Structures are given as structure tokens and as C-alpha cells.
Structure 1
Amino acid sequence: MEPIRIGILGYGNLGRGVELACAANEDMQLMAVFTRRNPESLTLLTPGAAVVAAAELEQWTDKVDVLVLAGGSATDLPQQTPEAVRLFNVVDSFDTHANIPQHFAAVDAAAKETGHIGVISVGWDPGMFSVARLYANAILSGGADYTFWGRGVSQGHSDAIRRIPGVADARQYTVPVPAALEAVRAGKNPQLTTREKHTRECYVVAEEDADTDAIREAIVTMPNYFADYDTTVTFISQEELNRDHAGIPHGGSVIRTGTTGQNGENTHVIEYSLKLDSNPEFTGSVLVAVARAAKRLADAGETGCRTIFDIAPALLAPQTPDYLRAHML
């Protein structure tokens, strides 16, 4: 069987994670990385893969089966995904939860116009955590949902900070409030506000002569990212950031509590958790698995936008249905 030909748009941390995931899957072949930078400035890990200017995407429509978009959700993906799905089957990791319906509609319309498949909001949240929430809700129809992220680096939130004028670099950590997490795991079903569940820690390198007060204000008031949280902003040097915040760990838990029985006498807690040494490498691995499903959907003649909810688990796996039934069921 011919390998699935993968293209990657963007070659930051996530793009490199996708590249590594392609190399780990025998049914994948990385064809090209498309970049807005000077292609000559990039050196890939994959022998034989091309580095191509993003402006030349249209010339590769017959050489790539699925294009994986590795840009940020703040400004890149809302524009890139609807544009790219006119040319390719695509997968993205759009993670601004509040704007997913709007993003879905834009990608769905563009994909149907040109007969492609676009799978959006793939990763671990949204993505694997979304599946955990759906399964838990279906099983415990009466209950409460809780999602805790971290402690870890959020790529999307860090990217959003770096887009602020005057910011040279940044890392943002999402941190669960310990008392809230303990109460949920104990089955107490607390009513928690967004602010009561997490705090956000931002480590920012400001450009020379930048207005740090303006940067701080732009961060703590940013809607969908920081405005609803207790957020601390600490300005540090690039050397300190490189020394103390070089890694990109993350993780968290999705928890649903509920009861069964005639009088609700039996309490149940469903928890799905992740502990990730590398957020972008794990997210890249999810994107590549979903790229496999996107290719299969496209081969079946399907078009339009999908989310992880619409992907049958067997479509993600490289193994045959017979193998899955024999070894994983």
C-alpha cells in the first residue's frame, strides 16, 4: 500500500512534532514543509523532504494527500485552514474553544466547495479530552464535568502572548488550583468558576524599551485567554527563559462525577488524564493519526468539515479491523 503523503504548513515546535510523528509511522511519508520563512533557513530531520515557500502551496496539490496545519489559533488558523482546505485535505489543532463553531462553519463551507475533508481542533484539548468528555457524559447522564489543565506550558496561550507588540518571547503555564482538584476527585461536585479552577503564570521577555505595563495589561485583559483567570506576569531575560523554561510539558485531567441507583446512592468518578513531557510532540502525534483518518474519509468520497467526534476510532489506527478486534477489543 502506498504511504500517505503528508505536508506540514509551519515549522515551529508543533511542526517539528508532526515531522517526528510522521517518521514514527510506517504508513506516512513527509513530502514537504511549507514555511513563511526563507526556505533555505530551515533544516529538516527527514531526508528527502522538501522545504517550500508557503506561497507555493498550490503547486503541491497533486503531491500531498493531507496537509497538517501547525500554526497558532490566535491569528494563523482562522485564515489558513479555510484557505488551505480549498487545495488539500487538511487537519488543524485550532484550540480556541469559544470560536470552534465559527471555525467549523468556515472550513465546512470551503471544503464542500472543493470536495475536500477538513478535520479541525485536533490535539489533546480539544481532541482526546473532548472524546473523554463525550464518552463520560454518555455513560453518566446525570453528573458534573470538570477539566483541569497542567501544570504545563500552553502553546496556544504562549503564542498569543508573543503576538503582543513589544514581546520578544514568552512561556505561559496553566496551573490547577489544588483545592479544587481535590474536591472534584473526592466526588463533592463543587460549583467552580473558571477563576477557581486554574491560575495562569506568564514569563515574558520584553523587547528593548518596550512598555511592560502595556504588555501586562494586554495579557491580563485578553479575552478567551487570560481575562477570566488570576494571571501573574513576570518579566525575565531571554537567558532566563532559555535556562528555566526550555521544555514544553503539559497534561491534565478530564473528570466526570455522577450517581446511579434508584436514589442516587452510588457515586462514580470517571477520570482520563495525560502527563506529557512534550506538548507539541504529543499533539503532533494526534494530528498524524487524524491525518490517516482524513485520508480514509477522503478516499471514501466524503467532503466537508469534521471534528474528533465524527472520527470512528478504527479510522485512526494503522492496523486492520481484524487486528483491532483480535488485539485491542
Structure 2
Amino acid sequence: MIRVAIIGYGNLGRGVERALKQNADMELAGVFSRREPATVQTDGASAYPLAELEDYKEKLDVCILCGGSATDLPIQTPAITKNFNTIDSFDTHAKIPEHFANVDRVAKEHQTVSIISTGWDPGLFSLNRLYAQSILPEGETYTFWGKGVSQGHSDALRRIVGVADAIQYTIPNNDVIEKLKAGEKMNLTTRDKHLRECFVVLAEGADEEAIRQEIVTMPNYFDEYDTTVHFISAEALKRDHQAMPHGGTVLRTGTTHEKTKQVIEYNLQLESNPEFTASVLVAYARACARLAKEKRYGAFTVLDIAPSYLSPIDDATLRRELL
């Protein structure tokens, strides 16, 4: 059995706990949180103080880190990798090389394994971009996200004075996707690829039109997109917008001999972003444990891991049943 610890217990941590129950070769050793353990309401797992994690060094095979990329993982992943094999979902794309270097240095020095930036983007989408451009070297790759909840954009809405609560959906332009799949050449702007739809609860006395204008002109979030704003009640937001769906498409359009058109498409439609991301983390935790057993120390990404390392099924059976 692969003994797993969950570090942090928000939406992603809860998803990991549920995903582990679907993997018979893994067992959850416990949840480690900065919160008081008595206040951590799990689905049955024991909760412990994060400060006591090192006391369990001989009792854990992999730690799955479920903190945020902005402030948690840049510090936690290198620190915890000093004593444990780790998995994280660090998703600040521009900072992945720096994060990798920091974790790789620690992992090699302390003879541990860490697989970083695991999930679906970065993660599975990264793999599909690599496969597609390697197979069709003459072509273009496009990534579309949604329809789904953008937590960062939703937070930006909630920070506006006069907004009591809000949620934002990123919506891909399906007309553009279909034209690309048909082989049409397009020079796409940010506005062409995605739409943004906002559902906003106003604070008492707030100016609806002023807030609408502040949203659609907000730099780095909405000003480059066609953005629709709906003002709704707090009850409607709670009733209709509590789920966390997401997904997207990786599309590679290219040509082979004599300009023969070829299209590669990979698509995800997720009712729960955190639960799906958690399932990816758990599969890569299995790979992490195997790499550690082979003493292949250091940091890795999904681009480095052989697909068979994700499966609990032996290699001979995989060759017989899946090839």
C-alpha cells in the first residue's frame, strides 16, 4: 500500500480524500492542516497539525500538497520535500521553471522525489500540447478554457467596492474552435478566443451601472474580453452557482504530406474542477512512489513520467489490454 498524506484541506484536499477511496493500492494516513485539527471536518480521515508532519517521516510514502500557488506552494513544496516525496499542483505557468529548480535542488540533496505542476493545465493539457506538436510539427496549437468558473476572476469581482458576492465563468468561442478544426487560418486575439460572463450580487445602495463599467474595463481581467454582467440576488447565486465546473480544449491543426489537413483535439468537460484535479494528483502520487522506490531522486513534471507509472495495473497486462 502507498501511504499518502494530504497537506491542506480545502476543496482540493477534500477531492484528494475522495479520490484515494477509488484507488485500492493507496491508503490515506491523515490530513495535515494549519487549522486546529478538531475544526477540520473530513470524510473520515484523521486530522493532525501541520507542525507535527515531520514526526510521521517513517510512516508516509507521498505527501499531496493542496495549497495555493500564489503563496503556499512556493514555500511548502521545497520545505516538505526535504523530508518527504511530494506532489503539487503549482499552476503559475510563468514561474514553473523557477519553482522546478528550487524543488529539484532540495529533492536531489535530500534524496526525495517531487512531481510538480500536476493537474490538467498545467498537467494533462501540457502533455497533449507536447504530443500534438511533436506529431504535427507543421501547425498551430490552441488552448481554450471553459466553460467553467475562474476563481481568480471571481475574486477580482468580489474585491470591487459595492459587490457583495460574485462568480465569473470563462466561456470558449465555439464558433472559432469549429473554424479552426475545419482548417481555417485565423489570427486570433484574446477577445476572439473567450467570453466572460459575470453574476454579481450588489451591496445595498450600490450603483449598478457604475459597477458594470468598472467590471468591463478592469485591466488584466475583463477589458480585453467581451464581458456580460448579470445582477442577481444572493439567493440566486447560492442556488444556481455553487458548483465548480470547468474544462477546455487543446487543439492542434497541422498538415502532413502535400498539405494534407490534420487535426488533433483533446477535450475535458468537468462538473467539479477540484475533484478532477485531485484525481490527477492521486494518479501521479503512484508514479512518485515508484520513482522513489527506484531511487530516481529529484523534481519531475508530467512531461517526464512514463504513462505506465500512473496505473496500478502491471506492465504485461497493460500491453495486452491497452495496446
Name the TM-score, length of structure 1 as normaliser.
0.86
1:174 maps to 2:166: no
Partner in structure 1 of residue 12 of structure 2: 14
Greater Cα shift, 280-289 or 182-191: 182-191
Residues 195 and 230 of structure 1 are in contact (CA less than 8 Å); yes or no, is this contact kept in structure 2?
A: yes
Residues 158 and 166 of structure 2 are in contact (CA less than 8 Å); yes or no, is this contact kept in structure 1?
A: no
Partner in structure 2 of residue 300 of structure 1: 294
> Counterpart amino acid of 2:71?
T
Shift of 1:90: 0.8
Shift of 1:194: 2.7
Which of 165, 188, 191 is residue 187 of structure 2 equivalent to? 191
Residues 17 and 285 of structure 1 are in contact (CA less than 8 Å); yes or no, is this contact kept in structure 2?
A: yes
1:45 maps to 2:39: no
Residues 73 and 156 of structure 1 are in contact (CA less than 8 Å); yes or no, is this contact kept in structure 2?
A: no
1:94/1:61 Cα in 2 relative to 1: closer, same or farther (>3 Å)?
same
1:269 maps to 2:263: yes
Which SS does the other structure have where 2:58 is aligned? coil
The structure having more radius of gyration, on CA atoms, is 2
Greater Cα shift, 97-106 or 24-33: 97-106
Shift of 1:252: 1.3
Shift of 1:176: 0.7
Q: What's the CA shift string for 1:195-225, capped at 9, x where partnerless? A: 3211333446688999996xx67x9335xx6
1:143/1:75 Cα in 2 relative to 1: closer, same or farther (>3 Å)?
same
Aligned length: 320
Residues 39 and 52 of structure 1 are in contact (CA less than 8 Å); yes or no, is this contact kept in structure 2?
A: yes
Partner in structure 1 of residue 60 of structure 2: 64
1:318/1:237 Cα in 2 relative to 1: closer, same or farther (>3 Å)?
same
Partner in structure 1 of residue 197 of structure 2: 201
Distance 1:10 1:94 in 2: 14
Distance 2:24 2:86 in 1: 20
Give RMSD over aligned pairs: 2.9
5 Å-filtered alignment, 1:113-262, equals: 113-155=109-151, 158=154, 161=156, 170-203=166-199, 220-222=218-220, 229-230=225-226, 238-261=234-257
1:45/1:316 Cα in 2 relative to 1: closer, same or farther (>3 Å)?
same
Distance 2:103 2:147 in 1: 32
Distance 2:36 2:231 in 1: 30
Shift of 1:112: 1.9
Which SS does the other structure have where 1:191 is aligned? coil
Residues 158 and 165 of structure 2 are in contact (CA less than 8 Å); yes or no, is this contact kept in structure 1?
A: no
Distance 2:202 2:53 in 1: 34
Distance 2:219 2:244 in 1: 24
Greater Cα shift, 49-58 or 141-150: 49-58
Q: What's the CA shift string for 1:52-85, capped at 9, x where partnerless? A: 1222222222222111111222222222222221
Distance 2:278 2:244 in 1: 13
Shift of 1:144: 0.5
1:140/1:243 Cα in 2 relative to 1: closer, same or farther (>3 Å)?
same
1:88 maps to 2:74: no
Greater Cα shift, 306-315 or 238-247: 238-247
Which SS does the other structure have where 2:186 is aligned? coil
